[in-house]
């Protein structure tokens, strides 16, 4: 990890905003059909050497790669979910985001949505855009998937250590980045909502709005 002096940080942040990279994260939930208080989510700890958010608890996820646009899926996103993802975006980005979420899930914690992955069980929860003043920026979409739709046992990787299941209340007690904490709070609201009427929230400059 490159250690930056306060002056270096200021210099990077005072220049033109860094373009935010499209990214996707996946919140795997077990007990989704039961009581919201009993639902458990999978999180792991970012490896300490990472430049971006080292040492904090996160959901599996990462940036979209070029290959994600053309990767084959066993089943596509449901039309309503695809439409939400593709509002105001480049053609094919919705598919690429979902494929990135599936790929990162397997790379980071060893869980699989199938080979090729089935995308029809993914639910678009929210979007979080790193503030413009930050030296590293992502435009991240967060998906939810039931644990019954994945196979394998969670395992550590070079990206994520110590993956484990948490209730939302327990996860909120962990060391978290501000955006991750905000997404967890949105997820808690989603668990108790009428999910058929859910309007996707977007975090921009640390403030929530709706898509």
Which residues 6+ apart lie within 8 Å of 108 measured at CB? 44, 60, 61, 62, 157, 159, 160
Q: Is 1 inside a domain boundary?
A: no
CA distances from 179 to 17, 111, 134, 165, 204 (A): 19, 24, 13, 19, 10
The per-residue pLDDT for range 109-143, each reduced to its tens digit, is 999 999 999 999 999 999 999 999 999 899 999 99
Average pLDDT over residues 104-112: 97
**pLDDT attached to residue 51:** 63
**pLDDT attached to residue 50:** 64
Q: Is 194 inside a domain boundary?
A: yes
pLDDT for residue 146 is more than 70 = yes
What is the phi/psi pair of residue 62, to 5°?
175, -175
Give 13 or 178, the one with higher predicted confidence.
178
Nearest C-alpha neighbor of 72 from the set 26, 108, 118, 104? 118
Rounded percentage of the chain residues whose pLDDT exceeds 90? 76
**pLDDT attached to residue 201:** 96
Q: Is 144 inside a domain boundary?
A: yes
Q: Is 186 inside a domain boundary?
A: yes
Q: Is 183 inside a domain boundary?
A: yes
116 vs 46: CA distance, rounded Å = 27
Rounded percentage of the chain residues whose pLDDT exceeds 70? 90
Q: Is 17 inside a domain boundary?
A: yes
| Domain that includes residue 205, residue range | 6-210
CATH of the domain at 45: 3.90.79.10
The per-residue pLDDT for range 61-101, each reduced to its tens digit, is 999 999 999 999 999 999 999 999 998 888 899 999 999 99
Q: Is 10 inside a domain boundary?
A: yes
**pLDDT attached to residue 37:** 83
Q: What is the number of structural domains in the chain?
A: 1
């Amino acid at each position: 990890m490159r250690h930056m002096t306060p002056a270096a940080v200021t210099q990077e942040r005072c220049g033109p905003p860094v373009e935010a990279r499209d990214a996707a994260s996946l919140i795997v939930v077990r007990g989704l059909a039961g009581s919201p208080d009993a639902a458990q989510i999978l999180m792991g700890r970012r490896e300490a050497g990472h430049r971006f958010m080292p040492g904090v608890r996160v959901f599996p996820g990462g940036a979209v790669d070029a290959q994600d646009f053309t990767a084959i899926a066993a089943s596509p996103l449901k039309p309503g979910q695809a439409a939400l993802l593709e509002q105001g975006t480049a053609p094919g980005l919705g598919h690429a985001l979902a494929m990135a979420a599936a790929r990162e899930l397997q790379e980071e914690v060893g869980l699989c949505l199938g080979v090729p992955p089935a995308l029809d069980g993914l639910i678009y929860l929210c979007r979080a855009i790193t503030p413009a003043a930050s030296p590293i920026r992502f435009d991240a979409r967060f998906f939810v998937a039931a644990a019954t739709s994945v196979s394998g046992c969670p395992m550590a990787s070079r990206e994520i250590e110590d993956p484990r299941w948490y209730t939302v209340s327990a996860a909120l007690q962990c060391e978290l980045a501000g955006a991750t904490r905000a997404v967890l709070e949105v997820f808690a609201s989603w668990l108790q909502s009428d999910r058929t009427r859910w309007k996707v929230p977007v975090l921009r400059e640390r403030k929530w709005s709706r898509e």
